[in-house]
Amino acid sequence: DQQVKQNSPSLSVQEGRISILNCDYTNSMFDYFLWYKKYPAEGPTFLISISSIKDKNEDGRFTVFLNKSAKHLSLHIVPSQPGDSAVYFCAANSGNTPLVFGKGTRLSVIA
Amino acid sequence: NAGVTQTPKFRILKIGQSMTLQCTQDMNHNYMYWYRQDPGMGLKLIYYSVGAGITDKGEVPNGYNVSRSTTEDFPLRLELAAPSQTSVYFCASSYTHGTGEGYGYTFGSGTRLTVV
């Protein structure tokens, strides 16, 4: 039973446009949400996070939006750059439990 | 600052063989984790540890064993390797499970294991 779902395996976006990656979750106890970025042959690296008391968090070109009522979060990348091409994982946890990861979305930014 | 170091980077095992995947971190993190990534399947938790001498099972622990004798090291042992254990294994560490906004787990670069 997947608690964190990323329903789009891949996404292609033109350089300079907005990339929107989506994530849904089923566990209403989750209170902390993260996005990780992964390049081939490397480990995932932390990108941005948001706690359940907020609905938006920004860090430069990256913004995460959280809709608790819909159990949905999204990552916006503006403007998208070729170096953003990677696999993006959504992750979540509640209290003192390990992170649960989604299956990932492969983003390709086309120059 | 090395962060999380995993060895080896690649390994081919025959069915029934055993091996230990090594993981060490130099950030004095108490929490350490082993995840496996299968193609298109995301990261699944195998085992985790909240401190030296304490380990607990994750989602997919069967066929694996761990130990945590020091804060720095968290080796993963595969006994009687099976083709289903072909995967990429990632070790990670953190100050806590819920690390607070702005932080996350630090991952190693992974071990790609093939069982034939």
Distance CA A24, CA A2 (A): 10
Does residue B1 have a pLDDT over 70? no
Q: Do A89 and B106 touch (CB under 8 A)?
A: no
> Which residue matches tokens 């095992």?
B13
Q: Do A93 and B98 touch (CB under 8 A)?
A: yes
From the list B1, B3, B28, the residue with the least C-alpha distance to B110 is B3
The CB-side HSE value for B26 (13 A sphere, CA atoms) comes to: 5
Distance CA A23, CA A33 (A): 10
Instruction: For CA atoms A104, A109, B4, B7, give the dihedral sign.
Output: positive
Does residue B101 have a pLDDT over 80? no
Give pLDDT, residue B100: 60
Give pLDDT, residue B96: 77
Which of B79 and A84 is assigned the larger pLDDT? A84
From the list A98, A3, A15, the residue with the least C-alpha distance to B50 is A98
Distance CA B34, CA A94 (A): 19
Per-residue pLDDT, averaged over A1-8, amounts to 91
Any idea which of A43-52, B21-30, B94-103 has the lowest mean pLDDT? B94-103
Cα–chain center distance at A88:
6
Distance from B82 to chain A by nearest Cα, in Å? 23
Does residue A33 have a pLDDT over 90? yes
Give pLDDT, residue B99: 55
Nearest beta carbon to residue A93 from set B97, B108, B109: B97
From the list A87, A74, A49, the residue with the least C-alpha distance to B88 is A87
Total residue count of chain B as it appears in this document: 116
Distance CA A22, CA A76 (A): 9
